[in-house]
Structure 1
Amino acid sequence: MFWTKAREVSQRAMENETLVPIASKAFYFESEGYRCFGHTLSDNIRKKPVAHFSDNPKAVRNPFLPYEKAMYVSEAGDDHVCILNKFPVITPHLLICTRQYAQQNQLLDLSDFTAWLMAFKFEPNVTPLPNESHDADDVLGFFNGGVMAGSSQPHRHMQVVKSQIPFEQAIANGELPFPHQLSLISELNPNKIHQGYLEMMSELHLLPEHDDGICKPYNLLLTKRWMLIVPRSVNQVGGMYANGINFSGRFVVKNEAQLQWLKQSGVLAFLGQCT
C-alpha cells in the first residue's frame, strides 16, 4: 500500500537532490551457476554518514528520530512509520521504523511484523521511475539483526525493496549450503509469521540469553512465499561487507577488482563465510 506514494516521494526527492542514490543501476554477473545482480558504489557513498553505535541512544545522531521530512512516505500503524532510505541502492527503498526508539538487535515483536507486512501490498502496473531497476517485479523484505549482520543503525527498522531473487529456487528448496531456517508462507498473517519467526530463532539458538534482550546476530529475508533466517558470525570477508539483501543474490561492490574477487570466491562461498 506504500508503493505509489513512495514513487512520488522518491521522484520529488531526486529532483530536489534530497535523495542520494549511492550505486549504479543493476547489472548481471555469473557465479557458482547463479545469475546474480550487481551494483557498483558511486561517489555519492562519500555523502553517507558513517554510523556509530552506542548502548546509549542519545549518544549518537539518530536519522530516524526525528526522520527527515522529505523522506516521509506514510504512517505504518500506531507504532511505526514508513520512510525512504535516503541513500538507496534500489529506488524506492522503504524503511519501516519504530516511532519510538527500539533496539535493532532485540527480538522483533508482533507490531513490527504487522507494520512490515503492510509494505507487501503494492500496485504492479504503476509506471516505474526513470532510474528504477527493470527487475523490480517482486517485494523483498530484509532485516539486519545487529552490527555483525550488516546493520548500519541501532534504531529498529525493517527494509523493503522490489527485486527479483536470484537465489529463489535455492532458498525455496532448502539448498543453501550454510546454516539457516526456512518457513514457507501460505498467507501474510502477522500472527502466524511472527510465531514462525520465534520458532526459527529458537531452532537456530539466536534468542536472547541475558536480561538485556539482545539476540545473536542474524539476517531475515521475507517474501510472500517464505521467510528465511541466517545466523551471522562476521560482517565482512576480504573487505566486502554483507547484509540481508545479499542472501537474495544481490551484491554491491566497490569496484571491478572487488567484483572479480567475489566471482572467483563464489557468491555462496562468500556468504557461507559470513554465517
Structure 2
Amino acid sequence: MRAERLWQGALELSEAARASGDLVPLRTELVDDPRLHPFVLRRLLSRTPKHLRGGGPRPNPFLPWEPALELERLGRSHVVLLNKFPVQPAHLLLITQDWQPQTGWITAADWSAVAHLARDTGGFWFFNSCAAAGASQPHRHLQLLPRRADEPSCPLAAHFLREIAGNAPGWPWRYAIAARRSADDPLELEQLYLRQARDLELGDPRSDSRPHHPYNLLFDDDWFITVRREQEHCAGYSVNALGFGGYLLATDRSDSGWLERHGPWELLRRVAAPR
C-alpha cells in the first residue's frame, strides 16, 4: 500500500496556497448528458486563464517557479509543484529544475523522477509534447492526478483494460497501447515510451534531436498509451492528453451543439493523426 505522503502534502499545501491567492482553482460545473458516457465533460465557469487563451509566447512560469506552489524537490533534477489553475484537487506537476524543452525527448532522468513519485502516490499521469498536443508551457513537465488504488485513474481506464485483454475495439487513429508489469520501474517506462515512439514514427532520440510529430502520453499502474496528434483543437474544444483519458472541458469558445451532434469520440478522431 502506498504512503500517499505527497498527495496529503499537496492537499495541505493547496489550502495554504489558495488562502494566500497563489493557487487559483478553476470553477467548473459537470455537464450531465448520458450521451457523452463514459466521457466526463465539465463547463468552465471561471474566466478563461491565459494558458487556455493562446495569444503567442508567454514568460516561462517555471523559471523561476512560484515558491508557494513548491511541494518537494527531487535532488537537483526535478521539483514537484501544484498546478496553479487546477480543476481537480492536488493536481501535481513534475518539472525539470533547469530548462528542458517540452518539445524534446523525455529522458531516463525524467522517468526516474516519475517512478520516485509513483512509489508514494499513484494516479493518472499525462504529458502533452507541444502546443499542437495541448501543452500550455514550453518547459518540460509531466502531470499527475492522484487516485486511490480502488478507483479508476480516468473515465476510459476500463476501456483500456478491455482493449489490452482483447475485449474492446481499437481506436481509428494512430496510437499505441501496452500493459504495464510494474507501477514504479523507470526502465520499463522508458522502454515503453521509446518503443511506442518508434511504432508511431515519432522518431528515436539516438538519431533525432526531437520527435517528428506532436503526441500525448497517458498512463497509470496498468497501461501506457501514446497518441500521435494532428491538431490541438476542434469545434472550440482544446484537447490534450486528458481528452484521450475521457476528460473534456468546455469554455466560452466551445461549440456544444457540435459535440452533441458528433460526440466525443469524433472529437478525438478529428484531433488525432489518422491511420
The two structures have a TM-score, normalised by structure 2, of: 0.84
Aligned residue for 1:183, secondary structure, equals: strand
Which residue number in structure 2 is paired with residue 245 of structure 1? 242
Counterpart of 1:216 in structure 2 is 213
The answer to whether structure 1 residue 198 and structure 2 residue 201 are counterparts is no
- Match of 1:213, SS? coil
* Pairs within 5 Å for 1:13-92: 13-31=17-35, 34-46=37-49, 60-92=58-90
1:51 to 1:114, Cα distance in 2 relative to 1, 3 A:
farther
- Write out aligned runs for 1:125-274 (5 A): 139-162=123-146, 164=152, 165-174=154-163, 175-187=170-182, 188-207=184-203, 212-254=209-251, 258-274=255-271
Report deviation, 1:172. Answer: 2.5
Report the alpha carbon displacement of residue 50 of structure 1 after superposing the two structures with TM.
5.4
1:112 is paired with a residue whose SS is helix
- CA displacement, residues 128-151 of structure 1 (integer Å, 9 cap, x when unaligned): xxxxxxxxxx61000001111000
AA of the residue aligned to 2:45? S
Unaligned runs of 5+ in 2: 164-169
Question: CA–CA distance in 1 between the matches of 2:53 and 2:253?
Answer: 23
CA drift at 1:183: 1.4
Displacement after TM superposition at 1:110 (Å): 1.0
More off after superposition, 208-217 vs 257-266? 208-217
Question: In structure 1, what is the Cα distance between the partners aligned to 2:242 and 2:219?
Answer: 10
Amino acid aligned to 2:186:
P
CA distance in 1, matches of 2:138, 2:252: 28
Contact (CA 8 Å) 1:217, 1:231: kept in 2 or not?
Answer: yes
TM superposition score normalised by structure 1? 0.84
Cα distance change of structure 1 residues 104 and 215 upon mapping to structure 2, 3 Å threshold: farther
Deviation at 1:238, TM superposition (A): 1.5
Structure 1 vs Structure 2 CA RMSD: 2.5
Structure 1 residues 107, 24: closer, same or farther in 2, change over 3 A? same
Structure 1 vs Structure 2: percent identity of aligned residues?
27
Q: 1: distance between equivalents of 2:67 and 2:158?
A: 39
Q: Secondary structure at the match of 1:13?
A: helix
Q: Deviations over 1:18-77 (max 9, x none)?
A: 211123154553336x332122112342465856766xxxxx511011000111011134
In the alignment, structure 1 residue 113 sits paired with structure 2 residue 111: yes
Contact 1:28 1:35 in 2 (8 A): no
**How many angstroms apart in 2 are the aligned matches of 1:51 and 1:76?**
31
- Structure 2 counterpart of 1:177, which letter? P
Pairwise CA distance, 1:257: 6.8
Cα distance in 1 for residues equivalent to 2:65 and 2:223: 31
